[in-house]
Amino acid sequence: MWRSYHVSPVILFGAWLLLIVYSIVHIFVQWLYSSEIEDYSPEHIMEELDFKVINDNRDNDKAMNKWEVLLLKCSVLADRFMAFEFVQAAEGGFIDFILKNDRTPCHEAIVYAYDNLPQEGRLVQFIVERECQDGKIPENTPEKQKLYSELPHEFLVQVMIRYSRNVRIMERECRGDITYKYSYHRKKEDRFHQRQVNGIGSETPSDGSNPVGRSSPVGRSSPVGRSSPVSRFSFGLT
């Protein structure tokens, strides 16, 4: 009985032959002997590169990007051959490589993953999680902007949903203060007190009194024993 995949049924002819390259066979044979995915080394993927020597950091980044894609190809090919232990090894090797080198998956790896792996799968979910976890500000250069435009729509949607989920978690932690911060305060004393909490202005009420008999916010303890998110986010009301 054939096993169905998210792209097409498994068949032993056709485009899958393009996946069988020297570098993948080398990784597979090494795994057969050691039961582990070998550590990254540029020498293992020279066939995948357009150059023969790693000259500088730019070349090294390119080689590391190729290694990411190569491990994803190992996972796809192993899955088509139902070599599920090798699938797990390739997936683990990809995840370990990203984390050990403090990287986010490169654009080529993201595009390849969304073209060839199920979106609910372990690797795609890890790619989304890592993108949200890293939190680096994208470079605003023509080269980078072109690459961003080529990212899969599904990936961008999943990242957006994951970010919104993180925001909701933060909101639950300080819901009361956010409600107060964005609500409309009719009393002048409340507006004055909010400005003092945010450290904005030094004016006092027209009668010169401390509003509503409160003590200065400097010595006031924050609710539920934690620092007030108002001071962290500094959105003052006027």
- pLDDT, position 160: 83
Token representation of residue 237 = 């009301």
Q: Are 90 and 76 in contact (CB under 8 A)?
A: no
CA-closest candidate to residue 8, choices 64, 79, 110: 79
Give domain limits for the chain. Answer: 15-135, 174-233
The pTM (predicted TM-score) of the whole model is 0.58
8-state DSSP, 37: P
Share of the chain above pLDDT 90, in %: 10
- pLDDT, position 172: 58
Residue predicted with more confidence, 64 or 190: 64
- pLDDT, position 94: 92
Alpha-carbon distance 181 to 198, whole Å? Answer: 10
Residue predicted with more confidence, 102 or 5: 102
- pLDDT, position 141: 62
Residue 45's pLDDT band (cuts 50, 70, 90): low
- Tell me: the pLDDT tens digits for 80-97? 888 889 999 999 999 999
- Tell me: the pLDDT tens digits for 8-35? 444 444 455 555 677 787 788 888 888 8
- pLDDT, position 109: 92
Alpha helices in 174-228 (DSSP H): 175-182, 188-197
